Amino acid sequence: MAEDTEKAIRVRTLFLSDMHLGTKGCQAGLLLEFLKDYDADEIYLVGDIVDGWQLRSGWYWPQAHNDVVQKLLRKVRKGSTLIYVPGNHDEFLRDYIGTTFGGIEIAESRIHEAADGRRYLVIHGDQFDMVVRHAKWLAYLGDGAYTLALVINTGLNKVRRRLGLAYWSLSAWAKLKVKNAVNFIGKFEEFLAAEARRVGADGVICGHIHHAANREIEGLRYLNTGDWVESCTAVVEHYDGTMEVLHYPSILRAREAGRAEVARLAEPAPAGRRAVA
Ligand SMILES: [Mn+2]
């Protein structure tokens, strides 16, 4: 592969989440290729980039995972702005919110203003796990209970972390209860869109549920970056402010098909098939 500056596609903003570096599930090879293919003025890491929970129970850090980190740092050196919004798996970084490390800013959440003036709330999304799971009875208790649940969610995780307990795992839970998972995803999307409305944004860009999306929910734009464990997806903002979900395996397949087509056209057609135009 050539150096990124020569052939990379440049976008205004790149949003990536749920890489889970430090786990066997992370598709670091594909991710590295993606980072060679795409360059951006601004990069948001929308949580669960490094999997601190997994690393705690055994060190797994192959060269490819190092390469991903190096690639991101190189982009910063070359002028990209990088904002790291931690998630639940890299929650240890939440102790550093508001600080900057080597040009990388750590933020709890952020309002991103797109080129078209639209404002997006950028947040990982795990903050809403509890309200999403207990939405039914919280609805009975009203607005105060909702806010309280958000506070408890944050506090509880902090305590669990201090005690060295594992975070409630969405994927493990979802695998156990497939029906509930579908329900959960729908509710999660609604809650995140509602949160964007609450903070006065036009939309939300989040991660956490490993389920890329670009849709409208009651007049708000809901974007989810997906993950680099199964789907290998990202959200990009083009220079006109258009947001797009990229499914990298599809891009690679299309590129491959395009190359095959070019090769086919370049080949001289056999005499019998040449005629009709
Ligand atoms: Mn998460």
Distance 91 CA to ligand 1 centre (A): 9
Residue type, 92: F
Distance 117 CA to ligand 1 centre (A): 28
The model's pLDDT over 214-237, given as tens digits with 9 standing for 90+, comes to 999 999 999 999 999 989 999 999
Close Cβ partners of 235 (under 8 Å, ≥ 6 residues apart): 14, 15, 205, 212, 214, 223, 224, 225, 243, 244, 245, 246
The model's pLDDT over 47-87, given as tens digits with 9 standing for 90+, comes to 999 988 777 778 889 999 999 999 999 999 999 999 999 99
C-beta separation of 96 from 90 below 8 A: no
pTM of the model: 0.84
Alpha-carbon span 39 to 244, nearest angstrom: 15
Which chain residues have CB less than 5 Å from ligand 1, an ion?
Answer: 48, 87-88, 126, 208
Distance 238 CA to ligand 1 centre (A): 26
Mean pLDDT computed over 25-46:
96
Distance 124 CA to ligand 1 centre (A): 7
Task: Give the CATH fold of the 9-269 domain.
Answer: Purple Acid Phosphatase; chain A, domain 2 (3.60.21)
Residue type, 268: P
Give the range among 18-32, 184-198, 258-272 with minimum mean pLDDT.
258-272
User: Where are the domains positioned within the chain?
Assistant: 9-269
Distance 261 CA to ligand 1 centre (A): 40
Alpha-carbon span 74 to 22, nearest angstrom: 20
Nearest CA to 215 out of 193, 195, 230 is that of 193
| Stronger pLDDT, 78 or 6, i.e. the higher one | 78
Mean pLDDT computed over 102-111:
94
Distance 45 CA to ligand 1 centre (A): 12
Distance 228 CA to ligand 1 centre (A): 12
